[in-house]
Structure 1
Amino acid sequence: MNEVTVRRARIGDVDDLVELRTEMFRSMGSATGGERWRANAFDWFVDRLDDADYGIFAVEHDGVIKACAMGAVRDAAPSPLSPNGRDVLISNICTAPDARGQGFGGRAFDAVMDWARQTGIARVELMATHSGRGIYERSGFTANAFPAMRARL
């Protein structure tokens, strides 16, 4: 059949979104254990599927979700590069291990970028893994001189 559909995620996709998020962390070498975060992630996705400030996309191949991507409008103080103070954070770009190298992740990324453009917001940001840098750079992303830093509270 080989039918590929790129669409907004639906309630029936949430288990797959959580599993792909787990795979994203696994492929980054991060810990993936614990059911609490997965249950919280499930509820988080459910709560945001129909929220206009979130664009959550799924790529389905022959009825199976193979990739996803997500965008979220963030509120921030205005700045020279973002005069209206809002930007879009792209995240959760992941492809199932058995589907990598077939363009599914690129299709999910394209869908979320199209959604981001439709918001009318002028700036988009993402955190790139080494394996994802190429596709992002081809889409106009550049490394920031001030990379993200984190601390646990």
Structure 2
Amino acid sequence: MFRAMGTPQTEEPLWQSATHQWFTDHIADDQVFIVVVEVDHEVVATAMAAIRDAMPSPSCPAGRDVLITNVCTLPTARRQGFAREAFEAVMRWAGSTGIGRAELMATGDGQAMYESAGFTVTAHPAMRATLRHHVV
């Protein structure tokens, strides 16, 4: 998943321990929904969704949306519908929240699935900066 998103691969334990702590803190959080698909006791696909708060804007008047993330499938389990199963489950949850908008960052492999669910490519791509370069 990280390679497909253009994220550098690292064995640095910091992000892994932070991820473990995040899941420990949020596994029972009703603002987060996590789906895993198992086949023969092996996790083959996942998807997550989380409610985000932000300032209201014309495109998001309530100031809340649902971020869909970590939709991924083991390479050996691709093209069998597992990612779609996980994705559709998080979309059902997102729809049940009453929030009017969902957002995600798509890879080329997933774009058609997301478009079939009503997602559109925005005119303004996501951009990121490492903030440690901006510390005063």
The TM-score with structure 1 as length reference comes to: 0.81
Query: In the alignment, what sits opposite 1:108?
Result: 86
- CA displacement, residues 62-86 of structure 1 (integer Å, 9 cap, x when unaligned): 2211110011100011222322110
2:4 aligned with 1:30, yes or no? Answer: no
**Partner residue of 1:123 out of 70, 76, 101:** 101
State the superposition RMSD in angstroms.
Answer: 1.1
Percent identity between the two aligned chains? 53
Q: Which has the higher contact order (CA 8 A, sep 6+)?
A: 1
Unaligned runs of 5+ in 1: 1-23
| Aligned equivalents of 1:30, 1:83: Cα separation in 2 | 32
The TM-score with structure 2 as length reference comes to: 0.90
For 2:3, what is the secondary structure of its paired residue? helix
- CA displacement, residues 33-56 of structure 1 (integer Å, 9 cap, x when unaligned): 112211111111121111011011
1:26, CA displacement in angstroms? 2.7
Q: Which has the higher helix share?
A: 1
Unaligned runs of 5+ in 2: 132-136
Query: In the alignment, what sits opposite 2:134?
Result: none
Aligned length: 130
1:79-94 maps to which residues of 2 (within 5 A)? 79-94=57-72
| Aligned equivalents of 2:119, 2:4: Cα separation in 1 | 22
